[in-house]
């Protein structure tokens, strides 16, 4: 656990963010390796199927993850106010909520998977792979929420190193099981899905054993957990807008997939490969934003407003520097990176085109995400939700539909940064209004 209310703002945020960045880079490296193994050994159709499954999965979990983020902020603010009893209540409440949600989503996802894929107009050559992968993946929902819930609780307490340990275990296990199930056992896309389910559930069990032996605030005991209605209402108040925001972002991803599916399988495979690299490139900015959220939560609980402003500016400068470096790397070696996933020349061409267009706006994306992280940490999530919805549903998706009809697949790629520009402008203006200072949960 770490007190973020004292000391150099830049150093604290950077030190907190480094384990998050390393951990999420591991996660994204796994996603990339997973896609490379699937693409190289199982073919373009299998790669497209795994990629098409992710937006559906993300749509189902987005709302729950949003509520969980609200609990993280509640925990960080109570911890900053030194109210440990409230911290324990919030921990028990979020675990019970996550487990219940995991069971419900497993049933819903498997029951309606075929109907969901049909709405996306997935090609017949891709559909069987997608259904197999998705249905197995959904079996691991309880382990997934347990793993991510534990990481969220620890981040709220200022601990970003311990989740890195668990994530490293999950990543290494996942890659090894991928190689075993796909190459040795020849289980196809089912092997990739089972590898993820086993790795995430195993990492969660490892985390429970570890924390029960070491930490006095987080003692995992399901029978002893109590659901506290007041704490849950506070988590919902903060997390509900984020939950809606994440859900509509996920639906936007589905809408984008639907537009992409108007083209051929190569375009979908190119999008999957390029978006894997894109997600890896975005990780540093997103994790700096997460670190800033914990920093803002604790400092708002301690009523240190000027310290928050200094932290925001320090985080922005770090995000800009990293984004510039990442942009240059992606532009220079983008074609080679896409070629790691698929040897199809058309996949490589379209994927490289995506990376050149989108990476040119990484600095805009990083600035937008840092401001989102700041406002989440303050517990002010409603207006940012509306800004995100506007940038996505009034800018990105209409642009993708319109431009793709005139420019082909490149029109879809241009729609992505257009939404970022609008999102950054709206978020900065709201931050300057200062209304976020009144949104804390502590008195």
- Give the pLDDT confidence of 342-394 residue by residue, as tens digits: 888 899 999 999 999 999 999 999 999 999 888 888 877 777 788 888 998 99
Q: Do the beta carbons of residue 80 and residue 302 sit within 8 Å?
A: yes
pLDDT greater than 80 at residue 310: yes
pLDDT over threshold 90, residue 165:
no
Nearest to 106 by CA among 151, 66, 145: 145
332 or 383, greater pLDDT: 332
Structure tokens at 246: 């994440």
What are the sequence ranges of the domains in the chain? 9-438
**What would the mean pLDDT of 200-215 be, rounded to a whole number?**
83
- Six-digit token string for 62: 């987005």
Give me the pLDDT at residue 137, please.
92
The end-to-end CA distance of the chain, in Å, is 23
Question: Rounded to whole angstroms, how far apart are CA atoms 443 and 14?
Answer: 28
pTM of the full structure: 0.71
> Taking the alpha carbons of 335, 338, 344, 346 in that order, is the dihedral positive or negative?
negative
228-284 pLDDT, tens digit each: 888 888 888 777 777 777 788 888 888 888 899 888 888 988 998 898 888 888 888
Tens digits of residue pLDDT in 387-421: 888 998 999 999 999 999 899 899 999 999 999 99
pLDDT band per the 50, 70, 90 thresholds, residue 116: confident
Has residue 215 got a pLDDT over 70? Answer: no
In angstroms, the CA 302 to CA 308 distance is: 11
Tens of pLDDT, residues 41-83: 888 788 888 878 888 888 888 888 878 777 777 887 788 777 7
Q: What is the mean pLDDT of residues 81-95?
A: 81
For position 2, what pLDDT does the model report? 64
- In this predicted structure, the answer to whether residue 443 has a pLDDT above a threshold of 50 is no
pLDDT band at 216 (very low <50, low <70, confident <90, very high): low
Compute φ and ψ for 63, nearest 5 degrees. Answer: -65, -40
């Amino acid at each position: 656990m770490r007190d973020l209310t004292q000391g150099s703002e830049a150093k604290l945020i950077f030190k907190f963010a480094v384990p998050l960045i390393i951990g999420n880079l591991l996660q994204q490296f796994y996603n990339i390796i997973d896609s490379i193994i699937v693409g190289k050994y199982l073919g373009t159709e299998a790669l497209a199927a795994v990629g098409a499954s992710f937006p559906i999965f993300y749509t189902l979990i987005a709302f729950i993850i949003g509520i969980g983020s609200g609990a993280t902020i509640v925990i960080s603010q109570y911890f900053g106010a030194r109210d440990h009893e409230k911290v324990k209540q919030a921990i028990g409440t979020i675990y019970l909520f996550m487990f219940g949600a995991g069971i419900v989503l497993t049933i819903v996802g498997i029951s309606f998977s075929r109907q969901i894929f049909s709405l996306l107009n997935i090609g017949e050559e891709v559909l069987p792979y997608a259904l197999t992968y998705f249905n197995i993946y959904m079996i691991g929902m309880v382990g997934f929420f347990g793993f991510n819930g534990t990481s969220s609780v620890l981040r709220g307490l200022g601990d970003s190193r311990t989740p890195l340990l668990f994530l490293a275990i999950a990543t290494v296990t996942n890659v090894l099981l991928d190689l075993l199930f796909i190459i040795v056992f020849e289980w196809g896309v089912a092997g990739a899905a089972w590898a993820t389910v086993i790795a995430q559930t195993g990492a969660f069990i490892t985390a429970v054993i570890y924390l029960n032996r070491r930490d006095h605030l987080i003692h995992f005991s399901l029978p002893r957990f109590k659901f506290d209605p007041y704490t849950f209402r506070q988590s919902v108040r903060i997390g509900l807008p984020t939950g809606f925001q994440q859900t509509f972002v996920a639906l936007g991803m589905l809408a984008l997939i639907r537009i992409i599916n108007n083209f051929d399988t190569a375009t979908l495979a190119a999008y999957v490969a390029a978006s894997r690299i894109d997600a890896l490139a975005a990780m540093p900015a997103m994790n700096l934003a997460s670190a800033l959220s914990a920093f803002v939560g604790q400092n708002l609980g301690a009523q240190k407003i000027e310290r928050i402003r200094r932290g925001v500016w320090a985080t922005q400068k770090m995000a800009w520097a990293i984004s510039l470096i990442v942009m240059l790397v992606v532009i220079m070696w983008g074609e080679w990176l896409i070629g790691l996933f698929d040897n199809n020349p058309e996949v490589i061409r379209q994927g490289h085109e995506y990376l050149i267009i989108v990476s040119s706006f990484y600095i805009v994306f990083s600035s937008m995400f840092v401001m989102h992280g700041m406002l989440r940490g303050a517990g002010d999530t409603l207006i940012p939700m509306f800004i995100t919805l506007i940038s996505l549903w009034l800018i990105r998706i209409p642009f993708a539909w319109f431009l793709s009809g005139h420019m082909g697949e490149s029109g879809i790629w241009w729609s992505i940064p257009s939404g970022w520009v609008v999102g950054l402008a709206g978020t900065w203006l709201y931050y300057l209004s200062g209304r976020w200072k009144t949104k804390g949960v502590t008195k």
